[in-house]
Structures are given as C-alpha cells and as structure tokens.
Amino acid sequence: MSAAGAPSLIALHGITKTYGSGQAAFQALEGIDLTVEAGEFVAVMGPSGSGKSTAMNIIGCLDVPTSGQYLFQGIHVEDLARNERALLRRHSLGFVFQGFNLLARTSAQENVELPLLYRRAEAPIRHAAAKAALARVGLAGWEHHTPAELSGGQQQRVAIARAIVTNPAVLLADEPTGNLDTKRGHETMALLEQLNREQGITVIMVTHEADMAAYARRIVSFVDGRVARDERRQAPACS
C-alpha cells in the first residue's frame, strides 16, 4: 500500500511459476513478494535462470503465475481472462526490448504510431502523438527516417518513443542497452532516468550490467527464483 493509502501500482504476493510437471517440473519463481509504487525506477538483476525475466513477463501480462496474487492498481490480474490481460497490457504498459523490434521498412513516426493504430486512434491524433513522443526522446526532425538510416542508439530511442506514446502507467525495459555500445548504452539510460525523473514515468528494467542498473533508484536482485536483495537509494548513483 502506498503512503497515501491508495493501492500500490504493482504488488506481487507469493508469486510462483512452475514450468512442466512431474520430474521434469522447473520452479522458476518460488514465492515472490514485491511492490512497486508509481514513479519508481527499479532495476531487476540476477544471473541467468534466477527468475527475473519470468517475473517481468508476469508483470507485463505476457505470462501468468502458477499461484499467488498479482495486483495492478488494486486489480487482481491473475483472475483476468486472456483478452482482459491483453487490454491491460495495451492500455497500461509500454515495452522496450533489447532488439528494438522496429519495422525495417517503416519510418520512425510510423513505428511509433503502431500502438495507437492498434487502439484505432484517428490518423491526426496518431501523427501528433508520435511526433510529440519522438521529440520527448530527442528525435525531433527524424520522423521520416527508417531504422536503416538510424544509429543503434537512435533506434532504441524510437523504440522508447513507441513505448511511451500511449502514456502507459509502467515502462518495462528488457535489457534495453544489450545491443548498444557503452556510450550509446549510457545515453539510453540517461534518457530513461530523465523520463522517470522529469515526467514521473514508472520504469522497471531487467539488466545484467551494474553500471546501467546504477541509474535506477532501486535495485532488486533475484537468485534461484527468489528476491535475494532489495536496495533503495535516495538518488541514482549516476546523477
């Protein structure tokens, strides 16, 4: 529960996830308890197989827990039907991936408009929102360039613009700097930190890189399907 008494933005209670059955069963999550308040910037770390990606998939409504409760703004997500989870994902969550996932022959603006197209927003609304989102990530004037005409860092900025064009409650970033060199990686992290700090966008990010996690105000470490450490800071180490 948040300080004001309203429900936490995200609350996981006793979340487990088992893949397979019988002797082949694998316990990916073993009773996760985790809350995230609106406006936080959380980095999720841990070795391969620790459960961090499974937890992110559950938070992102891409997977469902085997047991436990997942509340999003007080709504029990584990009780929602598949189409209801899809609506929650479409209207409340934005995703940024390691591989950018941009349409190769489509302009930056058209890539950013895609989530609004799925919402059946009218063309003038889509165009204005996409242009504004690109400006927010520092790409004003690059609207008509295709991914092949952009650097890796610029492509990731387009992906971030696409994720925030719908004004989601949460931005979920899965290894957002994994395909970038160190300089472009820090530029991307500085942008995420700025969006969090100046615009209040809640960010939850999976990363293997400690120097990238240092931009967050909170680092949650997973080990063997459990939360092993939850460290909070007054300000990011890189500020």
The structure tokens listed for 151 are: 């650097």
Of the chain, the percentage scoring pLDDT greater than 90 comes to 85
Place of tokens 């004003």: 140
pLDDT at residue 136 is higher than 90:
yes
Q: Provide the 3-class DSSP secondary structure of residue 167.
A: coil
pLDDT at residue 2 is higher than 80:
no
Tens digits of residue pLDDT in 18-77 = 999 888 889 999 999 999 999 999 999 999 999 999 999 999 999 999 999 999 999 999
The structure tokens listed for 94 are: 């934005």
Q: What is the pLDDT of residue 43?
A: 97
- The domain made up of 10-232 has a fold known as Rossmann fold (3.40.50)
Q: How far apart are CA 174 and CA 153, in angstroms?
A: 15
- Do residues 63 and 54 touch, judged by C-beta distance below 8 A? yes
Q: What is the pLDDT of residue 237?
A: 60
Q: What is the pLDDT of residue 176?
A: 93
Binning pLDDT at 50, 70 and 90, where does residue 210 land? very high
pLDDT at residue 1 is higher than 70:
no
Q: What are phi and psi of 207, to 5 degrees?
A: -150, 150
Which residue type sits at 31?
G
Which residue type sits at 7?
P
Q: Provide the 3-class DSSP secondary structure of residue 6.
A: coil
Helix 108-118 and helix 152-164: axis angle, to 10°? 20
- Do residues 145 and 108 touch, judged by C-beta distance below 8 A? yes
Question: In 3D, which of 95, 4, 87 has the Cα closest to residue 56?
Answer: 95
pLDDT at residue 4 is higher than 70:
no
Identify the sign of the CA torsion 55, 60, 63, 68.
Answer: positive
Counting beta carbons within 10 angstroms of the beta carbon of residue 127, is it exposed (0 to 12), middle (13 to 18) or buried (19 or more)? middle
pLDDT at residue 135 is higher than 80:
yes
Q: What is the average per-residue pLDDT within 208-237?
A: 91
* Of 4-8, 74-78, 122-126, minimum mean pLDDT range: 4-8
pLDDT at residue 3 is higher than 60:
no
Q: How far apart are CA 216 and CA 193, in angstroms?
A: 7
Give pTM, 2 decimals: 0.91
pLDDT at residue 207 is higher than 70:
yes
Q: What is the average per-residue pLDDT within 159-175?
A: 94
Question: In 3D, which of 123, 211, 225, 208 has the Cα closest to residue 173?
Answer: 208
Q: How far apart are CA 180 and CA 58, in angstroms?
A: 26
Place of tokens 């992110």: 56
What are the residue ranges spanned by the domains of the chain? 10-232
Who has greater pLDDT, 171 or 97? 171
